[in-house]
Structure 1
Amino acid sequence: MTGALATALPGLAASIPSPDQHTWYLGPVPVRAYALAILAGIAVAIWITGRRWAARGGDPDDVLEIAFWAVPFGIVGGRLYHVISTPDPYWGPDGDPVRALYVWEGGLGIWGAVALGAVGAWIGCRRLGVRLPAFADALAPGLLVAQAVGRLGNWFNQELFGAPTTLPWGLEISPEVIDHLNRTTGTSFAEGTLFHPTFLYELLWNLAAAAVLVWLDRRYRLGHGRVFWAYVALYTLGRVWIEMLRIDTAEHVLGLRLNVWTSIVVGLGALVAFFLVGRLRPGREDGVELPGRERPAQAEDEDEDTTSTGDAGEDAQAAGPDPGTAARA
């Protein structure tokens, strides 16, 4: 089938090239593609979440305030998880512990990012007086889009690709990276070998999952954290098969990569939480703010003006139509 497709479509590229550069310099300042991808993902997530938060009745400015706490916590958590789950480059025989601090080289584990990012989001929500489950529901689709954009950084870094493949969308990897892979993993891949573009698989999966979340939320008016639990379940479902394709160094437990076990356990837990919350608290929250939150003075003034205008309109209606209007009619 693959050969027939390649023969029928000779004009299409038989592989996906990898970028030959991942860092540019503005004078002495390095600009790294990985960092740009992460920042772009964060910006897109904040924009999407702001719109969804406003649609749920929240203040869009809340999103920036909560991101101020969630993003740094998430980056630290993601790096910690990566270093723990892939320790050889840092603590192995030829490892360098100092490189654990080199976030720009790639390596942010999503589960550590979600776990500590949730702690940061909780702090932000508590300070603002908003409901964390409601905010998590607004965040979930944007988080998937951010992860999709972030995978472009892996493409630029030529990392986290999958096993060799003869498919027409195989990923080209530079000879230097293949040589490093052979030395660190004991493999013997020849120059010119094509690999599964797992960065692309996850990018497309995440975008599709984000669309599914938006549809589920609109169709069933999910609330109380159920959109977030659906996000975790959908993401882990894709991560299991994508992770099984990868050949980079990783810790193994009972013959499977640690990230595979993590995805299975977390995914099953998310499914249980999704259905349990749905049974105990169906529908969507009545409000996104916690009781006792003080609204900004400007908002209170606007409400008073609206109320006054409404009262004046009712008084005018009770007094009868305007004579000029009646004459024009």
Structure 2
Amino acid sequence: MSPELVAGLAAMTIPSPDQGTWHLGPVPIRGYALAIILGIVVAVWLSERRWIARGGTAGDIQDLAIWGIPFGLVGGRLYHVATDSGRYFGEGNDPITALYVWRGGLGVWGAIALGAVGVIIGARLKGIKLLPVLDAIAPTVLVAQAIGRWGNWFNQELFGKPTELPWALEVSDSTAIGAGFAPGTTFHPTFLYECLWNLAAFALVVWLDRRLRLGHGRVAALYVMAYTAGRGWIEMLRIDDVELSDVGGLRFNVWTSIVLFVLAAAYFAWASRRHPGRETSVHTDGRPAVAGGTPAGSDVRDDVTG
């Protein structure tokens, strides 16, 4: 390979930001937080469109977000601290840093689990059936995750193994040394891989939902299968130290992905046999679902998001 070509490929690598925090007067503006917030906003907007297309009422998703988002943030942090407790507890560590969410560290499994609890509470209060609203929300979580992963780029964290591929990620010398590598080492940009995978998975799940008119939680099951299929192989590229990192030769999160994929696939197969089609009502009082002003069951085509 000629020196000119090597230099050209090196110029194509992905640089990391010089800083992940900016100050607006005394107020710190953190890239990690901005990525998370933007992902949430986009997901809520898309979920609202999908929910209305399924026969829900405008404003329902914002009301559910008041419950789901705080629960999800707490769950994500609890999962991260529980699976990486050595960073925060024990000799030489300050337990109070477990509360420093802005430094990074939100476990997706905990965020989804407790976020779903929040949605369940909100749905019960509003008289909304749980499975239809989960089917409306689930694909948009992929978009939120795709955007939120850029927070790892700002924080220069959770990158993959060393590589010299043209799209390799550059990190600061101190970050490379901290990871046990020489300055100038470039790495797999796993944040980018997951972002692209999630966006492709979103398009696939929405397309299948439109084509097959899925209901009764099957869209949510597809979300789990699509996400875990990507998370499994991307997790194998990562080199960050986590507790429970080697269970039977696989990282803990890889096992989690495998188990959840199997459970979601089993539920999808069961629900397809037991409940083909979609719900005729998304409300617990049995009101007929109305999509775009047309009663459910009419031969209408949903919009691009549903």
TM-score, reference length from structure 1: 0.83
Q: 2:67 aligns with which of 49, 66, 69?
A: 69
How far apart in 2 are the matches of 1:192 and 1:56?
51
How far apart in 1 are the matches of 2:92 and 2:194?
30
Which has the bigger relative contact order, CA under 8 A and spacing at least 6? 2
Match in the other structure for 1:134: 132
How far apart in 1 are the matches of 2:125 and 2:11?
52
Change (3 A) 1:205 1:53: same
**Equivalent residue of 2:88, what SS?**
helix
Question: Offset of 1:92 from its aligned partner?
Answer: 4.7
Change (3 A) 1:255 1:92: farther
Q: 1:258 aligns with which of 222, 230, 252?
A: 252
| Corresponding position: 1:85 with 2:83 | yes
Q: CA RMSD in A?
A: 1.8
Match in the other structure for 2:123: 125
Match in the other structure for 2:240: 248
Match in the other structure for 2:108: 110
Bigger helix share? 1
Question: Offset of 1:8 from its aligned partner?
Answer: 9.8
Which ranges in structure 2 are unaligned for 5 or more consecutive residues?
Answer: 288-292, 294-306
How far apart in 1 are the matches of 2:160 and 2:93?
23
- For each residue in 1:209-256, what CA deviation from the matched residue of structure 2 results, as whole angstroms up to 9, or x when unmatched? 000011000110000110010000110000000000000011222222
Q: Residue 85 of structure 1 contacts residue 258 of structure 1 at CA under 8 Å; is this kept in 2? A: no
Q: Residue 45 of structure 1 contacts residue 143 of structure 1 at CA under 8 Å; is this kept in 2? A: yes
How far apart in 2 are the matches of 1:12 and 1:212?
33
Q: 1:239 aligns with which of 199, 223, 231?
A: 231
How far apart in 2 are the matches of 1:133 and 1:249?
36
Q: 2:213 aligns with which of 192, 207, 221?
A: 221
**Equivalent residue of 1:256, what SS?**
coil
How far apart in 2 are the matches of 1:10 and 1:28?
41
Aligned identity (percent) is 60
Question: Offset of 1:122 from its aligned partner?
Answer: 0.1
Q: Residue 9 of structure 2 contacts residue 166 of structure 2 at CA under 8 Å; is this kept in 1? A: no
Whichever of the two has the greater Rg, that structure is 1
Change (3 A) 1:83 1:224: same
How far apart in 2 are the matches of 1:291 and 1:164?
56
Question: Offset of 1:203 from its aligned partner?
Answer: 0.1
Q: Residue 209 of structure 1 contacts residue 235 of structure 1 at CA under 8 Å; is this kept in 2? A: yes
Question: Offset of 1:11 from its aligned partner?
Answer: 7.6
Look up the equivalent residue of 1:289 and give its one-letter code: H
How far apart in 1 are the matches of 2:164 and 2:178?
22
How far apart in 2 are the matches of 1:213 and 1:92?
43
How far apart in 2 are the matches of 1:272 and 1:94?
45
Match in the other structure for 2:145: 147
Q: Residue 50 of structure 1 contacts residue 63 of structure 1 at CA under 8 Å; is this kept in 2? A: yes
TM-score, reference length from structure 2: 0.89
How far apart in 2 are the matches of 1:292 and 1:28?
52
How far apart in 2 are the matches of 1:12 and 1:53?
46
Q: 1:275 aligns with which of 248, 269, 273?
A: 269
